[in-house]
Amino acid sequence: SYLISLSFQQRIEIHKLRQGDNLILGFSIGGGIDQDPTQNPFSEDKTDKGIYVTRVTQGGPAEVAGLQIGDKIMQVNGWDMTMVTHDQARKRLTKRNEEVVRLLVTRQSLQKAVQQSMLS
């Protein structure tokens, strides 16, 4: 059997949650052009310096909207996130005057070959 790796893009709309004075999204990001890409456990290409979702808090707005751990964020509200520093990414996600962020993410999924599932 063999594994097929596909990646497909998804549009995810997260409504920020107000917690005291902050608007939170409920996930954590890692990566950026000023970071070390070889430490990224989620990227397939270890030179990829994009922004990846490293944690999704349970029950938070991100999980509700369908964001998953390991997703690569390509765009936030139209802003490109593939060539930004870590801090720039954080800033684009946490703009105070935005209540909704629309993300374009890329997700990889592994699918086992059809034969194997038929055999088992």
Partner 1 sequence: KIEPLKVTVDLLKVPLGLKKPPLKEALAALPGKPKSQILERRKSRRSDTMDNESQYSGYSYKSGHSRSSRKHRDRRERHRSKSREGTRGDKSVTIQAPGEPLLDNESTRGDERDDNWGETTTVVTGTSEHSISHDDLTRITKDMEDSAHLDCSRHLGVALAAALALLAFLTPLAFLLLPQLLWREELEPCGTPCEGLFISVAFKLLILLLGSWALFFRRPKAFFPRVFVFRALLMVLVFLLVVSYWLFYGVRILDSRDRDYRGVVQFAVSLVDALLFVHYLAVVLLELRQLQPQFTLKAVRSADGASRFYNVGHLSIQRAAVWILENYYHDFPVYNPALLNLPKSVLSKKMSGFKVYSLGEENSTNNSTGQSRAVIAAAARRRDNSHNEFYYEEAEHERRVRKRRARLVVAVEEAFTHIKRLQEEEQKNPREIMDPREAAQAIFASMARAMQKYLRTTKQQPYHTMESILQHLEFCITHDMTPKVGGEGGRYLTAGPTIQYHKERWLAKQWTLVSEEPVTNGLKDGIVFVLKRHDFSLVVSTKKIPFFKLSEEFVDPKSHKFIMRLQSETSV
Contact residues for partner 1 (CB under 8 A)?
24-25, 27-30, 35-36, 39-40, 54-55, 57, 86, 90, 93-94
Smallest distance from partner 1 to CB 77, Å:
13
Classified as helix, coil or strand, 39 is helix
Would you say 17 or 82 has its CB closer to partner 1?
A: 17
Smallest distance from partner 1 to CB 106, Å:
18
Would you say 25 or 105 has its CB closer to partner 1?
A: 25
Cβ burial, residue 60 (10 Å; 0-12/13-18/19+) = middle
DSSP-derived secondary structure letter, 118: H
Strand partners, 111: 4
Both tokens assigned to 52: 């990846």
Smallest distance from partner 1 to CB 61, Å:
10
